[in-house]
Structure 1
C-alpha cells in the first residue's frame, strides 16, 4: 500500500496573488506619475533657481494639471507636492523679506534657516517620491493646504 502524501488535516496555503496586483491597489502608471510629481520639484530646483524658487513648484503643477482628471492618485499626490513646494517657497521669500527689513542683519538667521529648509525639503521630497512609487499616500508634515 502506498501512503497518501497529502494530509487531509493540514491547511492548504492560499494561492499567490495575481501577477498584475498592485501595491496599495494603485495602478503602476499612476504610481509612476505621482512619483514624477514629487521628483519634478528636485528637477526644477536643479534647472532653475534652487530650493524655494519657481522651478520647484512648476513641475508638480504641470503634472497635476495634466493628470488630475484621469488619475486620482496623481491628483492627490500632485496637490501634495504642489502645496509643499509652495509652502517652502513662501518660507524662503519670508526669509528674504526678513533680511531686507533688517538691512542685512537677518542674514544671520536666514542662512542657517535656508540650509535647514533645503535639507528638510530634499529629504521630505525623496520620502514622498518613494512612498508614491509604493502606492502609499504621503502627506508632507509642514505644508499649507492651499490647492484643494
Structure 2
C-alpha cells in the first residue's frame, strides 16, 4: 500500500478543521421574531368594522355599567346644577385610563355638566326680568333628555357628544 491518504480521510480532516476554526454562534434557544399584523382592521361578514375590545382590566359590561352610572349620576344630581358634575368627574377620573369609551363619555359628560351649570346660573339671573322663570324649566328638561340619551348610548357602547356644549375638554 501507498502512504498517501485516502480521499475520505481528507474530507474528514477538512470538516474537523472548519469546525475548530468557526466560533460558536450562540448557545441556548434560537432568537424569536415577532410578527405584527398589518392592514385594515378585521371586519365582520357584513363589511362593518369589528368592535374594539375593551382594554385589559375593563370588561365590556363594566364599560356599559360605568358609562350609564356616569350619565344617570349627572341626571340625579342635576336637580342642584352645581352638583351635576361630581359623579361624571369621579367616574371619569377612576376609569379614563382603563377605557377609551369611558374617557370619551366622561369628557362629554363633564363638558355638558359645566355648560349646564353656566346655563342655569344665567337663567337664574334672568328670573329678575321674568324670562328666567320660563328658561329654568326648559334648561332642566334639556338636561334630563340629554342625560337619558347619553346613558342609553353608553349602555350600547356607542359614542355620544352632547349638543350645544362648550368644549372645555376635547372629546375624541
Q: Structure 1-normalised TM-score?
A: 0.71
- 2: CA distance, partners of 1:42 / 1:138: 16
> For the Cα contact (< 8 Å) 1:30–1:73, is it kept in 2?
yes
> For the Cα contact (< 8 Å) 1:24–1:135, is it kept in 2?
no
- Superposed CA deviations along residues 94-115 of structure 1, whole A, max 9, x for unmatched, are 123334xxxx2x2x21011111
Q: Where do 5+ consecutive residues of structure 1 fail to align?
A: 1-22
- 2: CA distance, partners of 1:72 / 1:36: 16
Cross-structure match for 1:63: 91
The structure carrying a bigger helix percent of its residues is 1
- 1: CA distance, partners of 2:51 / 2:87: 25
- 2: CA distance, partners of 1:126 / 1:142: 16
Q: Where do 5+ consecutive residues of structure 2 fail to align?
A: 1-49, 55-59
RMSD: 2.1
Cross-structure match for 2:138: 116
The aligned length equals 117
1:93 to 112, 121, 129: 121
Matched, 1:31 2:64: yes
Q: Structure 2-normalised TM-score?
A: 0.62
